[in-house]
Amino acid sequence: MADGRVRYWRAAHPYIATGVGLILLAGLSLFIGVGQLSFAALRDDPQALQLLIISRMPRTLAALLTGASMAVAGLILQLLVRNRFVEPATTGTSEAAMLGLLAVTIWAPSWPILGKMGIAAGAALMGTVGFLALTRRLPPEQPLLIPLVGLIYGGILGAAATFIAFQADLIQYLAIWMNGEFSGVLAGRYELLWLAGGLTLLAYLAADQFTVAGLGRATSLTLGLRYGQVLALGVVTVALVSALVIVTVGMLPFIGLVVPNIVSRIMGDNLRESLPVVAGLGAGLVLLSDMIGRIVRYPYEVPAGTIFGIFGAVLFLRMLLGRRSHA
């Protein structure tokens, strides 16, 4: 009986730690910013309560939803490509979404936000499919080629976006989309991210199928999995999440790369067991980056994408160089 309880608590420990950490970070986030908030002010000052409801709560929720959805999207992409060194920001998916958003901004600037998101999602879908087609031509015994090709592919798409933005005098818009930050998040301007949260839940429901798909096409078909349908579901999920995040807060690199690798080293590769922790850790790290960005140059802000990008780039290089040394 005692051994069973010990095993139970060991298994539940990552979930408990993630949940407690998220609650603490979310509570702190509500009281960090230029506008001072306190429990006494919330009780006595209507403006303080308005600040909490209109700004601080939406900003905190946006950071949590962004981190969770991007981490899960990165994990799905890693399973589909069967490579631990890829994520939407290193495979051209995010850059393709920016190209789509740039196109609709130039040719149909009056479109509603859902229409712009749809165009961005379609462009991200085509970009992801193009990357998957490139990976099919790479030798499987050289896994480091996949992230390197992804970086080159994304760089080409990003260069095309920069050229078009320069010609159309939209460089400032492109800079906003490339730097994920939450300072402009208010009530009524972040609700699209709930769709990203719904896609994360959908990924959890299909976790077993994604796990089997990660074994490869031949093995998946042998086990009776409809590999094409699962592949399509994964690609569409990654494209939609990337488009939703870029349209709402901008691009946040390395979340889908760093978080799944950290969790896999602790919990293994069972997607159904690890997916809640991946989502929770991604949400917590993005929220922590946003909080650091609010503090480090107070009363000014550093974008959360910049804060996390520094940490993610260092860890990405360490993983690449470590894999090369081990090989």
Give percent of the chain with pLDDT exceeding 90. 24
Number of structural domains (the chain) is 1
Q: Is 262 exposed, middle or buried (0-12, 13-18, 19+ CB in 10 A)?
A: middle
Asked whether residue 4 carries a pLDDT value surpassing 70, the answer given is: no
Asked whether residue 167 carries a pLDDT value surpassing 50, the answer given is: yes
Predicted pLDDT of residue 216: 81
Q: Which helix (H) or strand (E) holds 14?
A: helix 2-29
CATH number assigned to the domain comprising residue 157: 1.10.3470.10
CB-based contacts of 87: which residues, under 8 Å, 6+ apart? 70, 73, 74, 77, 78, 254, 255, 256, 257
Q: Which segment of 30-39, 167-176, 237-246, 288-297 scores lowest on mean pLDDT?
A: 30-39
Asked whether residue 95 carries a pLDDT value surpassing 80, the answer given is: yes
Q: For the chain, what is the mean pLDDT?
A: 85
Structural domain of 20: 2-326
CA 176 – CA 170 distance, rounded (Å): 10
Torsion of CA 47, 53, 58, 61, to 10 degrees: 130
Predicted pLDDT of residue 326: 44
Predicted pLDDT of residue 284: 94
- CA 246 from chain center: how many Å? 10
pLDDT tens across 259-278, in order? 998 888 888 777 888 899 99
CA 243 – CA 93 distance, rounded (Å): 9
Average pLDDT for residues 126-152, to the nearest whole number?
84
Q: How many CB atoms lie within 10 A of CB 219?
A: 13
Q: How confident is the model at residue 132 (pLDDT cuts 50, 70, 90)?
A: confident
Q: How far is CA 237 from CA 222, 244, 315, in A?
A: 25, 11, 25
Average pLDDT for residues 68-96, to the nearest whole number?
89
- HSE, side-chain direction, 13 A CA sphere, residue 222: 5
Q: Which segment of 41-50, 60-69, 227-236, 277-286 scores lowest on mean pLDDT?
A: 41-50
Q: How far is CA 17 from CA 3, 48, 276, 283, in A?
A: 21, 31, 12, 13
pLDDT tens across 176-211, in order? 778 888 887 887 778 888 999 999 999 988 888 888
More confident residue, 140 or 233: 233
